[in-house]
């Protein structure tokens, strides 16, 4: 156990050095969610504000979106999407390590195999925390101010970590399966946009066409966005059942991902 | 099983490695490396050297056969083997974002070297590979030779008892090559066993206590350099023609000179295998003197070189048997 922790930390440090060295990726990684928030937010916020002038529409918005403040509504979706991107790309350095042979050097050392996977997860969580901190700050400046900041912050952290675990582990499994980074980028890039659109990021599930809303049921992002959104915009935080239901759904998702990944990675690391 | 003083540094028995797709890269290989010796794998491209090494350092699982490092089986006690072995791969594998020191720090942590001891050892290996003044520079800006030296330093840091070097001097300049040879000798003097592969006959001759000539995934012949040369069973006279090969008829005539056992064409040279090179050499020179317009560039004679032995065993060269 102590060895696992030491091995994991040794490798996490390496990923943190990468982050510090690769200024470009770091800057872009921080700007990208801000762009979404700063561009999509005001754009749709305007439409929503106009619509809410009409009494009938305002009632509908309250019913479907729980708020007429679109920016606050959008915030949870952008936060979750940001963590999703980090997680889905979490396997990339492993792909490169396999290409350059660096992985073999690590595998030739008496290193706990689990620590290779864990170090990527720990790194993704740390990096996500940095990004979430920054977009929360920017969000607060733009007017995203939850009624109960502790509940909102805690929910944001818990549910993004739950989502990230499963996705990161899947990404790592892909990294061990595909021999070349071009295939890896193609697959992950292909997955990102449907995951984003078939989720309640921009529109509440109740306002989607039926088939889309059905598809969103199978999107793990949904189970991270909805409780976080409730914590941010529903007065009093909404119903406890929602949190429990979503946490269990994500936990089940994580267990399936870990089981799949362990089988794949074990075969590759034999 | 525990390591006893008598256990060989490395014992490979009946190793078979088949890759998916049915390539039998190693096909019944046996090798025994004694503690404290430098053992060299010589073999043509694709002979199975790297594959054998990957099995030894636990990166690939044998299809059949067994491997033990100081008595520890690679499949049953992989972590014990990993602690005893230092591995420097054929291709330099470094992380372009890290400095030399950060590479060594990572190695120290992965091998569980206590912090205080690690910093001392890092200084001393940096000194050894002469990278001390570049220790805090990113490896992105390192030359090929510096990268290779750092890669070797990473393999040495945890003081392995068996150091495995896969083609350690490819692409290095002469000075660096000699430096690497010096490291290897210094390590052997400290009692470290070394297994290395090379295509370079001079390297094998200089470093090896024993050599295994490997081809088609099997040891074809092994022994010290002197033993291998003796096993050739003859001496050589080498003639440098300095031009294109002779006519077939001339080869025939030369082959029938007294004492010639075999004539080999090798590029612009001719090689005569004989029982006594000192006796044959003047006769060969005489034959060429008698031929107008065919002066010799040079003539030398002596025992066979390791290259001669290698070529005879692996036979990857066009040969004219007489
Ligand atoms: N991962 C692999 N998958 C399939 N075949 C492989 C793989 N690695 C090596 N081989 C094959 O196994 C054989 C032995 O390769 P190996 O790399 O062990 O040779 P080598 O003796 O190290 O050669 P070289 O001197 O060129 O490095 C070759 O035929 C090679 O094509
Ligand atoms: Mg090789």
The 10s digit of each residue's pLDDT in A125-160 is: 999 999 999 999 999 998 899 989 999 999 999 999
State the greatest distance between any 2 C-alpha atoms of chain B, in Å, as a whole number.
Answer: 76
Q: How far is the CA of B41 from the centre of ligand 2 (A)?
A: 10
CB pairs under 8 A between A and B: 61
Q: What is the pLDDT of residues B198-241, one digit of tens each?
A: 999 999 999 999 999 999 999 999 999 999 999 988 899 988 88
Q: Domains in chain B, please, with CATH?
A: 10-229 (3.40.50.300), 233-303 (3.30.70.980)
Is B111 part of the contact surface with chain A (CB cutoff 8 Å)?
yes
pTM here?
A: 0.88
From the alpha carbon of B50, which atom of ligand 1 is closest?
A: 22
Give residue B216's pLDDT: 92
Q: What is the pLDDT of residues B268-316, one digit of tens each?
A: 888 889 988 888 988 888 888 877 666 778 888 989 999 989 988 888 5
The residue whose CA has the least distance to atom 6 of ligand 1 is B19
> What would the mean pLDDT of A175-200 be, rounded to a whole number?
90
CA distances from B38 to B63, B82, B175 (A): 27, 19, 21
Q: How far is the CA of B96 from the centre of ligand 2 (A)?
A: 23
Is B106 part of the contact surface with chain A (CB cutoff 8 Å)?
yes
| Out of A6, A17, A106, closest to residue B97 by CB | A17
Tell me what percent of the residues of chain B surpass a pLDDT of 90: 64
The complex scores an ipTM of: 0.87
Is B175 part of the contact surface with chain A (CB cutoff 8 Å)?
no
pLDDT value at B81 more than 70: yes
Residue pair A173/A159 in contact (Cβ under 8 Å)? The answer is no
Q: What is the pLDDT of residues A104-113, one digit of tens each?
A: 999 999 999 9
Crossing angle, helix A113-142 and helix A70-88, to 10 degrees?
160
Structure tokens at B129: 């590979």
pLDDT value at A96 more than 80: yes
pLDDT value at B5 more than 90: no
Residue pair B251/B244 in contact (Cβ under 8 Å)? The answer is no
| Out of B57, B91, B109, closest to residue A101 by CB | B91
Is B140 part of the contact surface with chain A (CB cutoff 8 Å)?
no
The residue whose CA has the least distance to atom 17 of ligand 1 is B50
pLDDT value at B6 more than 50: yes
Structure tokens at A223: 């189970």
Q: Which residue of B has its CA nearest to A2?
A: B112
| Out of B85, B93, B154, closest to residue A104 by CB | B93
Only one residue has tokens 């990339």, namely: A92
- Measured between alpha carbons, how far is B316 from B303 in angstroms, rounded to an integer? 21
* Nearest ligand to residue B56 Cα: 1
pLDDT band at A11 (very low <50, low <70, confident <90, very high): very high
> What would the mean pLDDT of A2-13 be, rounded to a whole number?
94
Domain coverage including residue A244 = 2-269
> What would the mean pLDDT of A191-207 be, rounded to a whole number?
90
Evaluate: CB of B48 within 6 angstroms of ligand 1: yes
Average pLDDT, chain B: 90
Evaluate: CB of B59 within 6 angstroms of ligand 1: no
> What would the mean pLDDT of A180-199 be, rounded to a whole number?
90
Q: Which residue of A has its CA nearest to B56?
A: A108
Is B51 part of the contact surface with chain A (CB cutoff 8 Å)?
no
From the alpha carbon of B23, which atom of ligand 1 is closest?
A: 5
The residues placing their C-beta within 5 Å of ligand 2, an ion, are B 50, 90
Provide the 10 A C-beta neighbour count for residue B231: 14
Counting every residue, how long is chain B?
Answer: 322
Residue pair B175/B24 in contact (Cβ under 8 Å)? The answer is no
pLDDT band at B244 (very low <50, low <70, confident <90, very high): low
| Out of B79, B93, B107, closest to residue A100 by CB | B93
Give residue B320's pLDDT: 41
Q: How far is the CA of B167 from the centre of ligand 2 (A)?
A: 7
> What would the mean pLDDT of B174-186 be, rounded to a whole number?
90
How wide is the angle at C-alpha A71 spanned by C-alphas A68 and A75, nearest 5°?
Answer: 125
> Got the DSSP string for B179-202?
HHHHHHHHHHHTT-EEEEEES-HH
User: How many domains is chain A partitioned into structurally?
Assistant: 1
Q: How far is the CA of B129 from the centre of ligand 2 (A)?
A: 23
Give residue B319's pLDDT: 35
Interchain contact, A108 vs B58, CB within 8 Å: yes
The residue whose CA has the least distance to atom 5 of ligand 1 is B19
pLDDT band at B140 (very low <50, low <70, confident <90, very high): very high
């Amino acid at each position: 156990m102590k060895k696992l922790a030491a091995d994991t930390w040794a490798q996490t440090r390496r990923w943190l050095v990468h982050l510090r060295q690769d200024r470009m990726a770091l800057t872009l990684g921080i700007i990208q969610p801000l762009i979404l928030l700063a561009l999509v937010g005001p754009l749709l916020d305007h439409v929503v504000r106009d619509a809410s002038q009409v009494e009938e529409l305002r009632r509908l918005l309250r019913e479907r979106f729980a708020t007429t403040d679109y920016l606050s509504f959008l915030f949870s979706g952008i936060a979750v999407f940001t963590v999703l991107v980090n997680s889905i790309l979490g396997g990339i350095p492993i792909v490169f390590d396999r290409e350059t042979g660096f992985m073999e050097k690590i595998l030739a050392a008496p290193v706990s195999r689990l620590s290779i996977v864990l170090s990527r997860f720990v790194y993704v969580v740390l990096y996500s925390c940095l990004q979430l901190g920054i977009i929360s700050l920017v969000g607060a400046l733009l007017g995203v101010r939850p009624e109960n900041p502790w509940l909102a912050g805690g929910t944001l952290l818990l549910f993004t970590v739950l989502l990230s675990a499963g996705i990161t582990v899947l990404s790592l499994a892909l990294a061990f399966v595909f021999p070349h980074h071009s295939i890896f980028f193609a697959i992950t890039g292909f997955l990102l946009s449907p995951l984003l659109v078939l989720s309640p990021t921009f529109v509440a599930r109740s306002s989607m066409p039926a088939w889309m809303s059905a598809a969103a049921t199978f999107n793990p992002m949904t189970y991270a966005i909805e409780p976080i959104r409730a914590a941010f915009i529903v007065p009093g935080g909404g119903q406890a059942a929602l949190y429990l239901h979503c946490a269990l759904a994500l936990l089940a998702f994580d267990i399936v991902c870990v089981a799949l990944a362990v089988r794949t990675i074990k075969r590759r690391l034999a | 099983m525990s390591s006893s003083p008598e256990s060989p540094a490395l014992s490979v028995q009946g190793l078979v490695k088949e890759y998916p797709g049915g390539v039998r890269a190693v096909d019944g290989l046996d090798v025994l490396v004694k503690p404290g010796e430098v053992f060299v794998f010589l073999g043509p491209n694709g002979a199975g050297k790297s594959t054998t090494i990957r099995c030894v350092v636990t990166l690939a699982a044998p299809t059949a056969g067994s491997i033990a490092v100081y008595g520890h089986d690679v499949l049953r006690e992989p972590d014990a083997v990993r602690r005893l072995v230092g591995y420097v791969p054929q291709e330099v594998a470094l992380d372009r974002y890290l400095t030399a020191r950060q590479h060594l720090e990572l190695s120290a942590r992965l091998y569980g070297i206590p912090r205080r001891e690690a910093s001392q050892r890092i200084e001393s290996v940096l000194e050894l590979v002469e990278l001390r003044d570049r220790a805090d520079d990113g490896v992105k800006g390192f030359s090929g030779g510096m990268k290779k030296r750092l890669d070797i330093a990473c393999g040495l840091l945890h003081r392995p008892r068996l150091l495995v070097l896969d083609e350690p001097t490819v692409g290095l300049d002469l000075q660096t090559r000699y430096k690497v040879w010096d490291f290897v000798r210094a390590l052997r003097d400290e009692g470290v066993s070394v297994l290395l592969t090379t295509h370079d006959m001079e390297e094998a001759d200089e470093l090896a206590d024993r050599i295994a000539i490997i081809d088609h995934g099997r040891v074809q012949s092994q022994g010290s350099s002197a033993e291998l040369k003796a096993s050739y069973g003859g001496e050589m006279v080498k003639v440098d023609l300095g031009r294109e090969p002779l006519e077939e008829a001339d080869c025939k005539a030369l082959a029938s000179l007294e004492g010639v056992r075999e004539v080999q064409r090798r590029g612009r040279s001719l090689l005569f295998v004989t029982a006594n090179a000192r006796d044959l050499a003047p006769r060969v020179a005489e034959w060429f003197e008698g031929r107008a317009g065919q002066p010799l560039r040079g003539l030398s004679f002596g025992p066979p070189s390791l290259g001669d032995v290698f070529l005879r065993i692996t036979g990857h060269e066009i040969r004219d048997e007489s």
